[in-house]
Structure 1
Amino acid sequence: MKKLSVIGIGAGDPDYLTMQAVKALNRVDVFFLMDKGPAKHKLLDLRREICQRYIVDRTYRFVEAYSPERERGDLDYTVSVEALNRAKQATFERLIDEELSDGQCGGFLVWGDPALYDSTVRILQTILDAGRCVFEFEVIPGITSVQALAARHKVPLNGIGGSLEITTGRRLATGQVSDAANVVVMLDAEDAYRQVSDPETHIYWGAYVGTPDEILIAGRLGDVADDIERTRQAARQAHGWIMDTYLLRRPQ
């Protein structure tokens, strides 16, 4: 039986790996690395660094594959994501079929945690349901950018007895958020915090949290929104992409 480990590797700092993740790394024979283009090669390099650091006295190899991109533009978002996941499913099936022998363990190294805005677990379950590949898989949790952000700003995510919502920039931009006192926003491509009308809202913002490129800004939204926007633009130009997360704390 082929086996797979979906391993959460944390939000950028190799020290974020849990002991459970380290043990899982040392069971893997083949690591599948999904290449998202030159701008994100640092993410592949980090995965290799993690393996080099934590795997002891074990032979393993890397197999790289192109990671399909979501088609953007005027397409319906849900439709485009479903198409993306079908393309990823075909890639995953090929890797499992061609690169993994019976009795071996394959590994997917997932940024942050596999349960939070990542499709790997969902895709693997879909493959199993289709019956074209037979394997077992385990999921190893990891430290997310949400946890890392709170730790770096030295704040709790919620107030005493207060609610917490985790959502996306897309939903915030269209007003699809609850009345939670604390809102964590991920995957913001359009400066959605600009849609928050109350300038007294406090924002704890971070980009590339846990990496050597980490940037942190905090303050009243009315005071720091322009600074965050300028910083995001500069970071995108410097790195070719932006990976940020922020906590919005509404005044009580």
Structure 2
Amino acid sequence: MIDLHLIGIGSGDPDHLTRAAAAAMNAADVILLPRKRDAASDLIELRRSLCAAVLRGHTRVVEFDLPERGESDAYLDAVGDWHDAIAARWATEIASHLPNGGRLALLIWGDPSLYDSSLRIADRLRAGGMMLRVHVVPGITSLQALTAAHAIPLNTLAAPVVITTGRRLRAEGWPPAVDTLAVMLDGTCAFTSIDPLGVMIWWGAYLGLPSQALVAGPLADVSSTIVARRARLRAEQGWIMDTYLLRRSKGAA
């Protein structure tokens, strides 16, 4: 039996860890750290630094190469194939490092429940016959870090919020009957595709890290600033993680 612990680590800052997260890391037999083959070397360094700061006992840290997602117009099919490949890689690492079972941990940016597929990948292992118990340790999400950094509430009084992706915002526009959108996974600045009239934006990158960057204001005024700053930061750092909140004033359409 493998006990898989999916541990939310927020932005990767040790101060973002809960006590439960630190305890789960130290109780694990093995922590798997994925290496990406692109320029995002800082991401693996953040995980390494986190392990160095938190681990106090016998836990082994094992790195593995994360499969790359194929390029395809059929987005969901490409993601499904990618998740299959990741599940196969997890299975290989488990067979190699925990052949007799044990406690395995994976460190998840933000929280495993929000736009992360580790739970779906774990389901693939169980469907393939692996004896697997899944445990989730919640973490600080990028939306919590964003609203805290800007000192704003997520929602307006008694009103709903839609959490969506940049891809869907660009393709479908502003959803009906909501005044607040939280947008994630936006590599193309989809906020430039909507009517900015009456819209405020709160944007943040590298939330919770020393390199944190924030911009807020009327979308019509700061849109070009965010686009330019995001491009510059990505070029300087080699990677970027950002998210933003859009809020439309009542009566704007």
TM-score class normalised by the smaller sequence: over 0.9
1:175 aligns with 2:188: no
Question: Structure 2: which 5+ residue stretches go unaligned?
Answer: none
TM-score by length of 1: 0.94
Structure 2 equivalent of residue 16 of structure 1: 16
Secondary structure of 1:105's counterpart equals strand
1:145 aligns with 2:142: yes
Question: Structure 1: which 5+ residue stretches go unaligned?
Answer: none
Superposition deviation, residue 155 in structure 1 = 0.2
Structure 2 equivalent of residue 48 of structure 1: 48
1:67 aligns with 2:69: no
Aligned CA distance change for structure 1 residues 126 and 38 (closer, same or farther; 3 Å): closer
1:134 aligns with 2:131: yes
Amino acid corresponding to residue 166 of structure 1 in structure 2? I
Count residues in correspondence.
249
Superposition deviation, residue 241 in structure 1 = 2.2
Superposition deviation, residue 243 in structure 1 = 1.1
| d(CA) in 2 for partners of 1:213, 1:68 | 28
Amino acid corresponding to residue 218 of structure 1 in structure 2? A
Q: Which among 157, 182, 187 is matched to residue 184 of structure 1?
A: 182
| d(CA) in 2 for partners of 1:229, 1:76 | 27
Amino acid corresponding to residue 239 of structure 1 in structure 2? Q
Q: Which among 89, 96, 99 is matched to residue 97 of structure 2?
A: 99
C-alpha contact 1:12 1:208 (8 A) present in aligned 2: no
| d(CA) in 2 for partners of 1:91, 1:54 | 26
1:31 aligns with 2:31: yes
| d(CA) in 2 for partners of 1:241, 1:40 | 5
Superposition deviation, residue 2 in structure 1 = 2.5
The superposition leaves residues 154-192 of structure 1 with CA deviations (integer Å, 9 ceiling, x where unpaired) of 000000001101110000011254231110000101110
Indicate the percent of aligned positions where both proteins have the same amino acid: 41
Superposition deviation, residue 202 in structure 1 = 0.3
Aligned CA distance change for structure 1 residues 177 and 98 (closer, same or farther; 3 Å): farther
| d(CA) in 2 for partners of 1:34, 1:183 | 31
